[in-house]
Amino acid sequence: MSGSPAGPSRLPAEVLAGIEALRPRYPTEEALLLPALHLAQAANGGWLSHEVIEAVATLLNLPASSVGGVVSFYDMFHEHPVGRHRVRLCTNLSCQLRGADQLAGLLERELGVGPDEVTPDGRCSWVEFECLGSCDTAPMAMVDDDYHENLTPDRLRQILKGLA
């Protein structure tokens, strides 16, 4: 699957440029993999299709199978389509003690889908997530790239309404 002859990469130009800019930082090409996957995923609607994984593998001269193994290892890489907006609700202990399970129920009711599912209009998906390091402002959720802290049911509803 990998090692296809060098041709124009299927990765967008800005992703290729981003990866090339990082090259001088590392003594090996393989070390570019996590940064490359972050960039590729952001440019691909928040997930890594098989085609994208193969393109990254080809670019970095790695077997597609081992890149797939890396992708499946990390919670922030997604092998399936996700919503345009992604809600990661922390449900670990500090948040559990301050009502996170009530918020999980609210997310499921408001969005009408379970964890890891995407709303039919593609707008949103949500997951229960492990500790996000914001326990002093529990309960909290990460929505796309931003932390929303000291959540209440009302605040969470408002945040959901604001997601286009």
Partner 1 sequence: MATERVLTRNVGRASARTVRGYRESGGYEALARALKMQPEEIVEEVKKSGLRGRGGAGFPCGAKWSFVPRGAGRPKYIVCNADESEPGTFKDRLLMEHDPHQLIEGCVIAGKAVEANTTYIYIRGEYTQATRVLEEAIRDAYDQGVLGSSVLGSGFRHDVYVHRGAGAYICGEETGLLESLEGRRGQPRVKPPFPAVVGAFGAPTVINNVETLCCVTHILQRGADWFRAIGTDERNTGPKLYAISGHVERPGTYEYPIGVPFQELLDGCGGMYKGRALKAFIPGGASAPMLTAAERGIRMDFDTLAKAGSMLGSAAVIVMDETTCVVRAALRLARFFAHESCGQCTPCREGTNWMRIVLERIECGAGSESDVDLLAHVVPNVGGISLCALGDAAQGPVRSLVQKFGDEIRDNLRNHRYPLPRVPFFDLGAAS
Instruction: Please say which residue, 4 or 152, places its beta carbon nearer to partner 1.
Output: 152
Q: Which parts of this chain interact with partner 1 (CB under 8 A)? A: 25-28, 30-35, 37-38, 60, 62, 66, 69-70, 73-77, 88, 91-94, 96-99, 102, 106, 130-139, 142, 145-147, 152-153
Nearer residue to partner 1 within complex by CB, 124 or 156: 156
Nearest distance, CB of residue 138 and partner 1, angstroms: 6
User: Does residue 149 contact residue 137 with C-beta atoms inside 8 Å?
Assistant: yes
Closest separation between CB of residue 29 and partner 1, Å? 8
How far, CA to CA in Å, does 84 sit from each of 68, 122, 160? 23, 6, 12
Cβ closest to partner 1, residue 24 vs residue 120? 24
Rounded Cα distance between 6 and 29, Å, is 16
Instruction: Report residue 82 as tokens.
Output: 């996700």
> Among residues 15 and 142, whose Cβ is nearest to partner 1?
142
Q: Measured from the CB of residue 117, what is the shortest distance to partner 1 in angstroms? A: 19
- How many residues in the chain? 164
- Min dist CB 132 to partner 1, Å, is 5
Residue 23 beta carbon to partner 1: minimum distance, rounded to whole angstroms: 12
Closer residue to partner 1, CB minimum distance, 106 or 124: 106
Q: How many CB atoms lie within 10 A of CB 100?
A: 22
Please choose, from the candidates 74, 75, 84, the residue with its C-alpha nearest in 3D space to the C-alpha of residue 111.
84
72 vs 60: CA distance, rounded Å: 18
34: amino acid identity, one letter = L
Contact of 34 with 25, CB cutoff 8 Å: no
